[in-house]
Chain A
């Protein structure tokens, strides 16, 4: 049917003209709808192909398909052209100042003591320790007696204690987080692997002492724990906290609840060992107290010291935070000056 072929040719011409004449995307889409969209004229012819006599079907179908393909590619080309023109036009007019601040709050800041505490906790949790807490207002028994500080022993002078009003007269503000050792061992049988973070109190106040501060205490009890294990663990802890290449020094010391006891020093992070004010010219900084659990402590919790051994360690969080951040006055931590907090 020659009429159909001519119609197709005409539609092709008109379609091409409409595409060429389109001034914007909507004109173009309109042309597409009229000529070769789903409901367009060319598509209608294609849909009608099936009704044609068999001898025409093929020729008309081919012609219509070719016309549609031609229109499509003209459409794509024109669309790209229009968009490019549009882009060039809007450039300059719609450009925004990307350097202006974004909308919404900037993140706040973590308190350096809390952050340090949290870092210490996560190191030990990774090493298989679990967290245990205890009360701040503690019984004398847990804070002193069961930790092998007998009532009339000068070791009690090592910690200036706040006493709390109570009918029995046996309450103190815990002077260390060590009572948690006792409370945990009373509750569970070995193996024990705990860390005990918390606030502690001493009646003392100057630039390196604060009436309240934070400690993290650790305890491991098992059949064959040794002081060598303690050395290994703390060496690993210091590497993870202060970075590699900082030698440690273990030297004998005294705590009533550990024996043998050790004080752990790290190579001064300020001067690297040559001596400075912070390390009092010694080249070393004291960061930890530690030792093997005293058999007397096991006696209080009913562990057999012939069967089990354990180690304990404790550190002051403020001290470590001061060393990490170069802070020399502990009181800054408790002023909560936003200008201070914003530095961390």
Chain B
């Protein structure tokens, strides 16, 4: 909300400067985000009058003007044509530095001296654009600072009001806040006006049929008024505060909205059918055209203002086209009411219509202020518009407004805040706030809270008032007593993640962070390839764009597009990982979410290698990351098996990682069609690990086994297998042939004509490590035979002899 400093000063004659007001309000919880001097850059700009104007002898587009500031005459060369002799204009004198940064110097333009500049509104930053120079009102006196002439010797405060402080959504409210800080007094302007028309009761009848939704309805009526523009000072203030001036009647209601925070509405009395008003929520659905010209569907329960025949306004939100003040209006009813905040909010939400009025009613408008606002409106209007005010005020529900009493214990403030607040200090603060205190000596006070403070209902609310008005900087810094820290399941997941991040970082991978959303269009196009039906996705009801429609079921699409984006930027070797959640529907809980770790790899095996090994990465580079990673995370043993369950992988180049029979991850080469749709060429490898399942429990501490005292024996076996034999299984079986087999590893693998089509030759090195003796030749031979037997009979291998 924007508030001119001068307007605040009308309510509290504070000794604080604008900058001090900004600081004081901010430190009391009413944040003033900016405080701008309106006359910035207008220091050497004055009002002046054109005495004479003639064309420039050497330039068609320029004119020579003689202008006076009342005492001195200046010769000015000017490029505009919209002025004439006698006009009042804005003159920037030599030395002025204009708001747009231009510095005015003495100059010769096409041979003619120019002793200043006549300014346009745009140059003075008073308007976005302007057609010529600024022409001031005829009655402007020359020689005055322009800032004064335009009412710009003022500051505009931009105040951010939190939702609990509806009472501060006005000049009066902020003035009260200043008074609470400084102890100064708020003075309400008097509201004199002649009250000589007919009794209001003869002009209009008002009923409130739904008093729960409208606890108070106040009205004043006037007649004999002529619709005209309101005076400059009022139009200027409205404009400064962001409200467009319309006419004297509407402007006055808006002025009061800004000034005291009471939203008002003006009805053309002659357009109220049956000269009556009934405040009532309809029981049926109907349509109604609001004054913005939009036809609105009104549901049962939305509070309306009706006349004898139908709705004339949506209460507290917006008036109707059928009863608004128009050019020929002469008789007006001013409404100044109090509506229930939740009711207004529901209606505004459902209509998708938020107005200055509904914004304030939602946050709470002082029910005690309706009459003052109505009187102030009539009083202001009567100052500049001839009119006759009807006798009396209608005030339905006026007797029901009562302040609230809230208990308060001074020692409670001390206990919560951690500093001592003396009872006298608390009482003094309540005094500044205008909260009467009654202390019956029990240690619990009764504090009376005025009706404008909707936010104060409980003791803690009063504690906050004491704390904020004493200043938070007076609270000391202490430290919470230390307690034995707990080690939670999530502490462990944080540790597991950090281990994973460190490992991957060491292997050259950088971390990506993607949104948890995926675009709807991606899934419609690629759903089958991505292995997930959009029907099973967790769906956002109100996405801001297609990109935020669905929650991702895995991390693949994010990392794939990261890879594609980087390749497009000439970064061909992509190694990225991401840790984040995947989402999906589940029958049990409606939806599930699971922490995952995605890893993507494409480009060279060893980027930056100079020794000729710049081969492209392949499946085993990815496996060589994932397997040791899982081991690093101390998961119990996992098994890698071929899989056909992941449609995003190329067939035959995809594996699941199983742990206790459950897939805890998968990796493989991304299939061609998917690469095409992301505009990627080279092979791309991807792995995804279900982090929580893969590293579910911390590993048990390692158990010591005695180190062998006898030398190991190594045996190499070369064997030709059919190509389909899984070498991993072969090694696993070899390892359990005999307890002496400590390790079996592949040292060589090849295919080719020499060994026959459809075959592969595998060289296996076996390490035999006896614990308690040196192996005899016979023992070694026996184990070797068992291995040969296994390879030939179990796996259909043929031992090669070289």
Taking Cβ atoms with an 8 Å cutoff, the residues of A that contact B are 100-101, 103-111, 113-114, 118, 121, 125, 128-133, 135-137, 152-155, 157-158, 162-167, 171, 173, 191, 193-194, 197, 199, 201, 203-205, 211-212, 220, 222, 224-229, 231-233, 235-236, 249-254, 259-263, 280-281, 292, 294-295, 309, 333-339, 341-342
Question: Given the complex, which residues of A lie within 8 Å of B20, measured CB to CB?
Answer: none
Question: Given the complex, which residues of A lie within 8 Å of B461, measured CB to CB?
Answer: 259
Contact A226:B508 (CB < 8 A) given known A106-B608, A128-B485, A254-B163: no
B515 touches A211 (CB 8 A): yes
Chain A residue at minimum C-beta to C-beta distance from B463: A260
A113 touches B513 (CB 8 A): yes
Which of A128, A193, A227, A337 has the most B CB atoms < 10 Å from its CB?
A: A227
Chain B nearest CB from A83 CB (Å) reads 30
Chain A residue at minimum C-beta to C-beta distance from B563: A336
B606 touches A103 (CB 8 A): yes
**8 tightest CB-CB pairs across the interface, nearest first?**
A228-B418, A226-B418, A105-B508, A252-B29, A254-B162, A152-B342, A252-B468, A111-B511
Taken together as a complex, chains A and B put the C-alpha atoms of A128 and B34 apart, in Å, by 39
Question: Given the complex, which residues of A lie within 8 Å of B72, measured CB to CB?
Answer: none
A152 touches B515 (CB 8 A): no
Question: Given the complex, which residues of B lie within 8 Å of A164, measured CB to CB?
Answer: 538-541, 551, 591
Contact A280:B34 (CB < 8 A) given known A108-B511, A250-B475: yes
Question: Given the complex, which residues of A lie within 8 Å of B569, measured CB to CB?
Answer: 337-339
B551 touches A137 (CB 8 A): yes
Taken together as a complex, chains A and B put the C-alpha atoms of A337 and B579 apart, in Å, by 17
Chain A residue at minimum C-beta to C-beta distance from B613: A103
Contact A341:B483 (CB < 8 A) given known A226-B416, A254-B162: no
Chain B nearest CB from A173 CB (Å) reads 7
Say if the beta carbon of B27 comes within 8 Å of chain A: yes
Question: Given the complex, which residues of A lie within 8 Å of B488, measured CB to CB?
Answer: 130-132, 194
Taken together as a complex, chains A and B put the C-alpha atoms of A261 and B541 apart, in Å, by 32
B479 touches A236 (CB 8 A): yes
Question: Given the complex, which residues of A lie within 8 Å of B566, measured CB to CB?
Answer: 336-338
Interface on chain A toward B: helix, strand, loop, or mixed SS?
mixed
Chain A nearest CB from B562 CB (Å) reads 4
Contact A232:B480 (CB < 8 A) given known A132-B488, A164-B539, A337-B569: yes
Choose one: B482, B505, B506, B574; the contact of A128 (CB below 8 Å): B482
Give the interface segment out of B214-222, B306-314, B493-501, B731-739.
Answer: B493-501
Taken together as a complex, chains A and B put the C-alpha atoms of A106 and B511 apart, in Å, by 14
8 A Cβ contacts from B309-359 to A = 341-342, 345-346
Question: Given the complex, which residues of A lie within 8 Å of B540, measured CB to CB?
Answer: 162-165, 173
Taken together as a complex, chains A and B put the C-alpha atoms of A317 and B686 apart, in Å, by 28
Question: Given the complex, which residues of B lie within 8 Å of A193, measured CB to CB?
Answer: 480, 483, 485-486
Say if the beta carbon of B242 comes within 8 Å of chain A: no
A162 touches B593 (CB 8 A): no
Question: Given the complex, which residues of A lie within 8 Å of B483, measured CB to CB?
Answer: 128, 191, 193, 222
Choose one: A166, A227, A259; the contact of B590 (CB below 8 Å): A166
8 A Cβ contacts from B514-530 to A = 514-517
Chain B residue at minimum C-beta to C-beta distance from A204: B544
Question: Given the complex, which residues of B lie within 8 Å of A205, measured CB to CB?
Answer: 544
B165 touches A292 (CB 8 A): no
A158 touches B33 (CB 8 A): no
Question: Given the complex, which residues of B lie within 8 Å of A211, measured CB to CB?
Answer: 515, 517, 544, 548
Choose one: A114, A220, A338, A342; the contact of B501 (CB below 8 Å): A114
B478 touches A226 (CB 8 A): yes
Chain B nearest CB from A119 CB (Å) reads 11
Given contacts A162-B540, A226-B415, A226-B417, 10 further A-B contacts (CB under 8 A): A110-B511, A128-B483, A130-B487, A193-B483, A220-B480, A231-B478, A233-B480, A260-B416, A260-B468, A262-B472
B593 touches A109 (CB 8 A): no
Say if the beta carbon of B26 comes within 8 Å of chain A: yes
Taken together as a complex, chains A and B put the C-alpha atoms of A29 and B593 apart, in Å, by 71
Chain A nearest CB from B444 CB (Å) reads 13
Contact A131:B543 (CB < 8 A) given known A155-B164, A229-B480, A341-B511: no
8 A Cβ contacts from B458-498 to A = 458, 460-461, 463-464, 467-468, 472-473, 475-483, 485-488, 490-491, 493-494, 498
Choose one: B163, B418, B506, B544; the contact of A157 (CB below 8 Å): B163
Contact A133:B606 (CB < 8 A) given known A111-B512, A164-B540, A226-B478: no
A231 touches B477 (CB 8 A): yes
Taken together as a complex, chains A and B put the C-alpha atoms of A213 and B565 apart, in Å, by 21
A280 touches B491 (CB 8 A): no
A131 touches B494 (CB 8 A): yes
B164 touches A254 (CB 8 A): yes
Say if the beta carbon of B87 comes within 8 Å of chain A: no
Chain B 581-608 per-residue mask, 1 if CB under 8 angstroms from chain A, else 0: 1010000001101000000000000111
Say if the beta carbon of B507 comes within 8 Å of chain A: yes
Question: Given the complex, which residues of B lie within 8 Å of A111, measured CB to CB?
Answer: 510-513
Question: Given the complex, which residues of B lie within 8 Å of A281, measured CB to CB?
Answer: 34
Question: Given the complex, which residues of B lie within 8 Å of A335, measured CB to CB?
Answer: 565
Taken together as a complex, chains A and B put the C-alpha atoms of A135 and B606 apart, in Å, by 39
Choose one: B507, B548, B581; the contact of A199 (CB below 8 Å): B581
Interface on chain B toward A: helix, strand, loop, or mixed SS?
mixed
Question: Given the complex, which residues of A lie within 8 Å of B562, measured CB to CB?
Answer: 336
Chain B nearest CB from A137 CB (Å) reads 5
Contact A254:B583 (CB < 8 A) given known A108-B575, A228-B476, A295-B458: no
B541 touches A136 (CB 8 A): no
Taken together as a complex, chains A and B put the C-alpha atoms of A212 and B547 apart, in Å, by 12
Taken together as a complex, chains A and B put the C-alpha atoms of A259 and B413 apart, in Å, by 11
Chain A residue at minimum C-beta to C-beta distance from B343: A152
Chain A residue at minimum C-beta to C-beta distance from B577: A108
Question: Given the complex, which residues of B lie within 8 Å of A128, measured CB to CB?
Answer: 482-483, 485
Chain A residue at minimum C-beta to C-beta distance from B611: A103
Question: Given the complex, which residues of B lie within 8 Å of A173, measured CB to CB?
Answer: 540
Chain A nearest CB from B165 CB (Å) reads 7
A339 touches B571 (CB 8 A): yes
A260 touches B417 (CB 8 A): yes
Choose one: A167, A226, A252, A294; the contact of B472 (CB below 8 Å): A252
Q: List 28 A-B contacts (CB under 8 A).
A: A108-B507, A109-B510, A111-B510, A111-B511, A111-B513, A118-B494, A131-B493, A132-B490, A136-B516, A152-B345, A155-B163, A157-B163, A163-B540, A165-B539, A166-B590, A199-B581, A203-B543, A226-B416, A228-B418, A228-B477, A229-B480, A254-B165, A259-B463, A280-B33, A334-B513, A336-B576, A337-B565, A341-B511
Chain B nearest CB from A221 CB (Å) reads 10
Chain B residue at minimum C-beta to C-beta distance from A214: B513
Chain B residue at minimum C-beta to C-beta distance from A255: B162
Chain A nearest CB from B467 CB (Å) reads 5
Question: Given the complex, which residues of A lie within 8 Å of B516, measured CB to CB?
Answer: 136, 199, 201, 212
Taken together as a complex, chains A and B put the C-alpha atoms of A108 and B508 apart, in Å, by 4
Chain A residue at minimum C-beta to C-beta distance from B459: A295
Chain B nearest CB from A162 CB (Å) reads 5
Question: Given the complex, which residues of A lie within 8 Å of B750, measured CB to CB?
Answer: none
Taken together as a complex, chains A and B put the C-alpha atoms of A225 and B28 apart, in Å, by 23
Taken together as a complex, chains A and B put the C-alpha atoms of A281 and B19 apart, in Å, by 13
Question: Given the complex, which residues of B lie within 8 Å of A100, measured CB to CB?
Answer: 610
Question: Given the complex, which residues of A lie within 8 Å of B494, measured CB to CB?
Answer: 118, 121, 131, 197
Chain A residue at minimum C-beta to C-beta distance from B558: A336
Question: Given the complex, which residues of B lie within 8 Å of A233, measured CB to CB?
Answer: 479-480
Taken together as a complex, chains A and B put the C-alpha atoms of A233 and B418 apart, in Å, by 13
Question: Given the complex, which residues of A lie within 8 Å of B487, measured CB to CB?
Answer: 130
Chain B nearest CB from A22 CB (Å) reads 33
Taken together as a complex, chains A and B put the C-alpha atoms of A280 and B34 apart, in Å, by 8
Say if the beta carbon of B269 comes within 8 Å of chain A: no
Chain A residue at minimum C-beta to C-beta distance from B575: A108
Taken together as a complex, chains A and B put the C-alpha atoms of A131 and B485 apart, in Å, by 10
Question: Given the complex, which residues of A lie within 8 Å of B576, measured CB to CB?
Answer: 336, 338
B539 touches A114 (CB 8 A): no
B548 touches A131 (CB 8 A): no
Taken together as a complex, chains A and B put the C-alpha atoms of A108 and B28 apart, in Å, by 47
Say if the beta carbon of B288 comes within 8 Å of chain A: no
